[in-house]
Structure formats: structure tokens, C-alpha cells
A and B are shown apart, each in its own frame.
Chain A
Amino acid sequence: MNTPNDLLYAKSHEWLRLEKEQATVGITDHAQSALSDVVFVELPKAGRVVKAGEVIATVESVKAASDIYSPVAGTVVESNTTLSSDPGMINREPYGQGWLFKIQPESPKPNGLLSATDYTATLSS
């Protein structure tokens, strides 16, 4: 499984890329592989205020609907609208064009997230 070192991870299999004012969120390679072919996504609207750990999006494969949790508290800036016509991008590029939404975190230093090494360790346990 691909787990880039420059990202932060939630135990619930979301990744967070911290940028200057905002952060990008997606699901991990492990998560997309476990879900298999994604066929539908439901993403948050810009302006939505969320708590860390709150259900913020849904990713559906043929088999099942899976809740996506916000890894941080903050305000949604933008959702990846291209996924509605091409949800399979999540499988092909989970860390790239398959990102889910951008969020302005409440705190510049979010708590409770894991490094790539620590996240990988949770997968084998």
C-alpha cells in the first residue's frame, strides 16, 4: 500500500495534506482498495462547519456505502466536483486527483492525527 510520508492520517483511513491556509482531504490507498470500485460520492458543500471525527461525506462502491469522517475541525472551502462524473478517480489517484474536499482547519496544528509510519502500523495490527 502506498502511504506518502508528507501527509497526516486518521485511523478511519482519511489523509490530510496541510497547505498554507487550508488542507486537502482524501481517503488512503488502503481505504480505496478495501472499498473497491467507487461508483458514487456525496461531498460536503462549501461553508459547512464540521467537528473533527464528524461524518462529512459518503463514498459508495457497488458493495456498500462508507462514511467519511473529517480528520479535523474546520470550515469546508471546496469539494472535488469532478468526482461526481468520475468517482473512479478515487481508486486511480487516491492522493492526487481523487481528493475529496478542502477545508480551512480551526487550528493550524491539528491534534490526534498519525504519521505515515504510525498509520501503516494500524493496518497490520
Chain B
Amino acid sequence: MLSGIAESPLASRHAALGARMIPFAGWNLPVEYTGLLAEHKATRQAAGLFDISHMGQIHALGAGALPALESLLANDAAKLKDGEGHYTFFLNDQGGVIDDLFLYRISAQDFLLVVNASRHREVLQILKPKETPQVHFSGEPGTTVGMALQGPKAASILQKVLRVDGTKIPPRNHLTSFEMESGQVWIARTGYTGEDGFELFSDLKTGPRIWDRLLEAGKAEGLLPCGLGSRDSLRTEAGFPLNGQDLSPSISPVEAGLAFFVDISRPRPFPGRSVVEPQKKGNLSRICVGLKGQPGQPPPRHDYPVFQNGKQIGIITSGVPSPTLGHGIALALITTPPPACGQEVEFEVRGRKVPAKVSHRKFLQNK
């Protein structure tokens, strides 16, 4: 779509399920069906099914795919084996994040990039000039279906639908191709909720049928269709970043606490390397930490300032009242050295300072 707002290939399903729709990154998407809290709980205790068709699915094809990706991405694509995926970034020359994505190696000549809807066009604009007779990039917005099946019951629901045993489904961060509903689907054991789960990537004809099958098969297990509302609260509890809030062109992945996914052990240059390499070696002026609020206090939100001993030390990048924990949680970008875990800080809500404690970013310790 060049203008206006795009409808998901699953739009008719959302309408039939009575979803409340909102615009998000140029797409009209469900924010909730039964209710955010019920959907959040279903995903933590049973399973949730999310439409992620807005996310870009881009294939890098050809013998030149790997060298092109190695020169463009912050994690080292050369580390991946067939059927394996990892989290990585497109960085700008200042080390800031253009996009965070999952990269899967299907084979030596076929890589799948799953990118944010809001950066899909920008990523294509980065990739297209790198095309040669040896590498081709394909994957325009609106040409694929994506869905995420997440939660402790996700694996059993998927096995039921695929009619396979547990040894056939991919292990964590791996991707396997299956035939379903007379079409092909790529199933990755990845997600954005902190639960076990899968992301399924398919075509416009097969995808909607798979959605129906998963919903039907999951019903008895307590599966609910879930919207963007619970997707955001679930990812915040898991400490996962949202591009545009916790990551941005002016925030580097090292500052966001994601240095693990920036590989400086290889000799090859990549955009932003001259900035993120010294950061990863310890030359860092700010770092993302977790904050835990208290029950009965107003929850932290994006852009609230953070204080220690009355002095501003940073800003909240994502904040939410945690449905699982019953108090506010936040990711905050803090001047280094940050206070240690357990130290008391404050954030400012409507002119009032509210107490919080520094915490690990992974708020659900048992996950």
C-alpha cells in the first residue's frame, strides 16, 4: 500500500471474532478480542494466538545472500546453521537501531528476515541497492501471513494440528518447513511473550486456514486470540524491547542491554561498528535497566523521567502495569553506572515522585 491503511489478510477472522481494531504501523490490527487481561493470562497459562501478518517477511536469495547479510547486520549471520535463527539489528552509522529483527537461515542460499512493520519499507530500501546477480531480496508488505502461537500449551496444540510428535517440531530458535492445508508454512520456535511458542509464516491462501485450525484445536486447551494490547504487556514482562520506544535510531543495542546480539568477534565491518564496538568494551554512557513499581501506585509509562536521590538519572522507555505481577514494571535508559538491582529510585507521574526498585529486565524470573 502506498497510502492509507492496510488490512490484514486475517481481517475477516478478526471481524468475526469481534476484535476491536486500531491503526498500528500503517495496518488496521486487533488490539483486543475478549479483553487484554484475559488474553494476557491465557498466554501465560495456556496459549494465545496473535496475528503478526503486518511484520515483514523478506527472503535473501542466492549465493551472495550470506556475504550481503554479514556486511549489513550487527549479529554475525555466518554463525547460523541451516534451520537456525537469531536476533540481530540493522544499525545506522551512529550505532543506533534502524530495526531489530529475527534472521533465519533456511539454507546457504535462502535467508528469512522477519522485520518490524514500521521499518519494512526502510529495510527494503537498505537491501535493494545491495542486489547483484548473486543476491536477490523479495518480500513486499501485504504478501504474506504471519501468526504467533505462544504459551505453555503452544507445543501440544501445534503437535495436534500437525499430527506429529514432539521430536518433529523445531527446537528453540530453529525453523522447520511443514505442509499444512495444502500449502507450505515455515514454523519457528520463537516469540515475543517470554513463553514457549512458535511463529508461523505462510502465504495468503494457506495462512488464514492455519489460523482457523489453530484456533479450533486450541479452544479446548484455553487458547484465546490475542491482540496488540496483550502482546505489548507480555513482551514488557519478558523484558523484550519495542522498536520506536526501547530501540531507536538514537539508541544503540548495547545501550538497550542487548550487546549479546552484537558480534564484534569477527573482522568484517558492519554499519555502526565503530560506535558499538567501544560501547560493548565498556565505554557506555547509558544502559537499559528494569524497574519495579509497587502495588497501589500509578504504573510507569513511556517517557516518564527517573530519579535517584532527587537527581534525574534517566527516562522510562517502556512501562506497564504488569498483569502477572500486579505492580508496575518498566524498562528505563539510565546514565552509567546504573544503580544496582534492588536499589531504590523514583519515577515522576503527573508531577509526583513514585518509588521503584531497579530490577533485572526479565521480570518473570521463572520464565
Contact = CB atoms under 8 A, between A and B. Distances in A.
B320 A62 contact: yes
Nearest to A63: B229
B37 interface: yes
Interface string B216-233: 000000000000011011
Q: What size tier do the contact residues of chain B reach?
A: 10 to 19
Question: Interface majority SS on B: helix, strand, loop or mixed?
Answer: mixed
A62 B350 contact: no
Contact of B229 (A40, A60, A62): A62
Chain B CB within 10 Å — which of A36, A37, A40, A62 has the most?
Answer: A62
A42 B298 CA distance: 8
Contacts of B233: 62
A31 to B, nearest CB: 14
A68 to B, nearest CB: 12
Interface string A62-87: 11110000000000000000001000
Given A62-B229, A62-B323, A37 B350 contact: no
A60 to B, nearest CB: 6
B299 A37 contact: no
A63 B298 contact: no
B350 A42 contact: yes
A10 interface: no
Nearest to A39: B321
Given A36-B229, A40-B321, A61 B36 contact: yes
Contacts of A40: 298-299, 321
A62 B350 CA distance: 17
Contacts of B321: 39-40, 60, 62
A37 B298 contact: no
A15 B320 CA distance: 27
B350 A63 contact: no
Nearest to B302: A64
Interface in A5-45: 36-37, 39-40, 42
Contact of A37 (B35, B232, B320): B35
B298 A62 contact: no
Contacts of A65: 298-299, 301
Contacts of A120: none
Interface in B325-350: 350
A37 B36 contact: yes
A37 B323 CA distance: 10
A65 B232 CA distance: 15
B36 A36 contact: yes
Given A36-B32, A36-B229, A58 B350 contact: yes
A39 B299 contact: yes
B350 A84 contact: no
B37 A62 contact: yes
A37 B37 contact: yes
Contacts of B267: none
A61 B230 CA distance: 12
Contacts of A36: 32, 35-37, 229
Interface in B224-244: 229-230, 232-233
B40 interface: yes
Contacts of A39: 37, 299, 321, 323
5 contacts: A42-B350, A58-B350, A63-B229, A65-B299, A84-B296
Interface of B: 31-32, 35-37, 40, 229-230, 232-233, 296, 298-299, 301, 320-321, 323, 350
Interface of A: 36-37, 39-40, 42, 58, 60-65, 84
Given A36-B36, A62-B229, A62-B320, 7 more contacts: A37-B37, A40-B321, A42-B298, A58-B298, A58-B350, A62-B230, A62-B321
Considering the complex of A and B, which 4 residue pairs feature the smallest CB-CB distances, nearest first? Answer: A37-B37, A39-B321, A62-B233, A36-B36
